[in-house]
Structure 1
Amino acid sequence: MADPATQSPYISSSAGGGPSEPGSTPIPAGGRDSKGTSSQSCAVHDLIFWRDVKKTGFVFGTSLIMLLSLAAFSVISVVSYLILALLSVTISFRVYKSVIQAVQKSEEGHPFKAYLDLDITLSSEAFHNYVNDAMVHVNRALKLIIRLFLVEDLVDSLKLAVVMWLMTYVGAVFNGITLLILGELLIFGIPVVYEKYKTQIDHYVGIIRDQTKSIIAKIQAKLPGMVKKKPE
């Protein structure tokens, strides 16, 4: 494990403890500005809970059609057809507006001028903020992988082994695209159902959680003392 003092300043700043670059805006602990993070969380929450039916329906429908297309065709074909469809719409609209302007002899200009003038460049500060956020998650994932594969805790490593063993059966029935389709259906379906039947679901989940803890406690009680799960 590297000494924290020798880590990159970008990684240090992501943890909120390192110095920031001269002239750059200080980054709060935990990554980007908390207001931006909370607004993004609220946007995702509103999306999966169907607060705006039109917006959620568009995102859900578009992504589902994309996944279904990938299940039937290759990635290259799907991407090519999407680009061709988009170009067909924009080129047709551009030609249509040009003809209308020629007939009416108007000076409206390019129909997409407002979008062409938008500033979509990514600043170096924003790029570094995204990199800092990504590094936090990457470091956390690497630490978890090392902890599981080098068996720091036997119970946790056994849990991973059981899950991977079950996934071999899942992989024999479903491919990756099918799992993504099912995942999207669950993401856009479960939150709405849970919000509607929250009380009943919490009751049954509590029962299952208590039974699971009881079973795990019995299993750990039968393990040798040196491999029992350490108390938190």
Structure 2
Amino acid sequence: MTFKSGPVFGGILLVLLALTYFSLISVVAYLSLLGLTGTISFRIYKNIVQAVQKTGDGHPFKEFLELDVSLPQNKVKEVSEVAVAHINAAVVELRRLFLVEDLVDSIKFGVLLWTLTYLGAWFNGMTLIIIAWVALFTLPKVYEANKTQIDANLEIVRTKLAEITSKVKAAIPIGKKAEEKKEQ
């Protein structure tokens, strides 16, 4: 697993680090130029080897040139339908939160936004993406090693959050009215 995920992790981390110092256009152009230089060099090398050994191997990228890379329309349609469903659900949820359908949920959303302002002041977006990328590859291993302790602590956090939410909803009369309407 490490041999497969290591190059993916390292390559994308390198691109993300490059994006912190250079523009997206520059990074894409340099990476494309690097790839093109590599393929041209390999093609010239293979042509020289074929000429010296007098073999007729043909084009070194023949199997890739014959590979069908077009997107199947049914798969594109399926993915776009799923994406539209998620976008619609997100828009409905944001409308519900911004127009204060449930006061407690809107306050939670406000606290989340307020927390994000501090997060944005501490880190820029690219730093957060790099941290998330590193966490994506490290957290599963940390979880495997410490599964029982992490699950126990997460359960404590879940119960405390449920307690606090129920206390806040009980203390706010508007929250009670919304619950009564949902029950009816």
Q: TM-score, normalised by structure 2?
A: 0.92
Matched, 1:70 2:70: no
Matched, 1:165 2:114: yes
Equivalent residue number for residue 208 of structure 1: 157
Q: How does 1:154-193 map to 2 (within 5 A)?
A: 154-193=103-142
Select the structure that is richer in helix.
2
Question: Which shifted more, 52-61 or 109-118?
Answer: 52-61
Shift of 1:133: 1.6
Listed one character per residue, the Cα deviations across residues 37-93 of structure 1 (whole Å, up to 9, x for unaligned) are: xxxxxxxxxxxxxxx111111111111111111011111111111011111110100
Equivalent residue number for residue 143 of structure 2: 194
Matched, 1:227 2:179: no
Shift of 1:217: 2.1
Shift of 1:216: 2.1
Q: How does 1:106-185 map to 2 (within 5 A)?
A: 106-185=55-134
Shift of 1:211: 1.8
Task: Give the distance between the partners of 1:116 and 1:67, measured in 2 at CA.
Answer: 29
Q: Which has the higher contact order (CA 8 A, sep 6+)?
A: 2
Q: TM-score, normalised by structure 1?
A: 0.74
Structure 1 runs (4+) greater than 6 angstroms displaced? none
Task: Give the distance between the partners of 2:70 and 2:121, measured in 1 at CA.
Answer: 44
Equivalent in 37, 42, 45 of residue 93 of structure 1: 42
SS of equivalent residue, structure 1 residue 109: coil
Listed one character per residue, the Cα deviations across residues 155-213 of structure 1 (whole Å, up to 9, x for unaligned) are: 11111111111111111110000000111111111111111211111111111222222
Listed one character per residue, the Cα deviations across residues 7-28 of structure 1 (whole Å, up to 9, x for unaligned) are: xxxxxxxxxxxxxxxxxxxxxx
Where does structure 2 lack aligned partners over 5 or more consecutive residues? none
| Alignment-mate amino acid for residue 125 of structure 2 | G
Identity %: 48
| Alignment-mate amino acid for residue 122 of structure 2 | V
Task: Give the distance between the partners of 1:186 and 1:163, measured in 2 at CA.
Answer: 21
| Alignment-mate amino acid for residue 69 of structure 1 | A
Question: Which shifted more, 86-95 or 187-196?
Answer: 187-196
Task: Give the distance between the partners of 1:75 and 1:172, measured in 2 at CA.
Answer: 22
Task: Give the distance between the partners of 1:119 and 1:198, measured in 2 at CA.
Answer: 43
Task: Give the distance between the partners of 1:126 and 1:200, measured in 2 at CA.
Answer: 41
Task: Give the distance between the partners of 1:138 and 1:218, measured in 2 at CA.
Answer: 32
Matched, 1:60 2:43: no
Task: Give the distance between the partners of 2:68 and 2:17, measured in 1 at CA.
Answer: 34
